[in-house]
Amino acid sequence: MKMSLRSCAALFLSALFLLGPSLALALEPNAPLSGAPVNLQAPCGNRAGGTGETRECTVADFINFVGSIVQFLIFQISIPLAVLAFVVLGFRLVVSQNKPTVYAETKKYLMDLVLGIFLVVSAYAIVSFIYSFVAEPYRIFFR
Amino acid sequence: MKKKHLHGLAGAALGYLLFPAIVFAQIVNPFKGVENLTGQNGLLEKLISIALQIGIPIMVLMIMWIGFQYVWEASKGKAANLATIHKNFQFTLLGAALLLGAYVILEILQNTFRSLQSR
């Protein structure tokens, strides 16, 4: 089936619409509407041998989990690697005197590095932009 | 054969001379006091500082060498060589900026992501 731009956009928007509530509630785990009060600070899930207070896991917990993975990947992996790559490339440029091939190679690496950082930043920015767009109305009107 | 013996003898003598230094010197772990990866006293800052310790003297020597080459080639009046040296100088300065600006790059990246995060 050929996917036109319009049908892609419609699918994307409907997916966003469906994702809305779960995204809106991602900041803190959603409490049940009735029944006994739940301690939202408690860790979720059944801990084997755990003695502390726990509660049921929700979709919001899953989204928070994915968010923590993304944060780990960005702050602990990609930023240190990018900075180390900058240092190594600078070192190469300083050390390799009078070698035009090395200069060209290093320039290419630098461009790739900047492109990679730009991709990571833009992915993060797009997701957080859409998140704020979709989550804020829900947070205002449906809570 | 004889030369080999001489080398061994010299090495043994050097080892004998260095022996007290090795015994009395505290071998310092360069990564001592590292608590985390990216924060204060982190592994990344330690690595950058080690790279700077090695890189700054090399950087200074290279810039001095390029300056010497400028003077040398200018005195001979060779414009083609001057162009090459000029290119070397540009790339060396770029490398020096990348090395010296490593902390700045780190701060920029981290603050960019933090500002995106807080929304």
pLDDT at A140: 57
CB spacing of B87 vs A94 below 8 angstroms: no
* Residues B44-85: tens digit of each pLDDT: 888 898 999 999 999 999 999 999 999 998 888 877 888 889
- The answer to whether residues A110 and A89 touch, using CB atoms and an 8 Å cutoff, is yes
- The encoded tokens of residue A39 equal 């301690």
Q: How far apart are CA A80 and CA A109, in angstroms?
A: 16
- Chains A & B: contacts with CB separation below 8 Å: 91
**For the whole model, what pTM was predicted?**
0.68
How much is the pLDDT for A121? 87
> Cβ contact (<8 Å) for B102 and A125?
no
CA gap A103, B94 in Å, rounded: 11
pLDDT above 70 for B2: no
Amino acid symbol at B102: A
Read off the tokens for A48.
Answer: 């084997």
- A17/B contact by beta carbon, under 8 A: no
Cα–Cα distance measured from residue B53 to residue B86, given in angstroms and rounded to the nearest whole number:
26
- Inter-chain CB proximity A79 and B106 less than 8 Å: yes
Mean pLDDT check: name the lowest of A21-35, A64-78, A119-133, B14-28: A21-35
C-alpha to C-alpha distance for A74 and A120, rounded to whole angstroms: 8
List pLDDT tens digits, range A21-56.
Answer: 444 444 555 555 556 666 667 777 776 666 677 777
pLDDT (tens digit per residue) in A57-83: 777 677 778 888 888 888 889 999 999
Question: Would you state the pLDDT for residue A88?
Answer: 94
| Per-residue pLDDT, A25 | 44
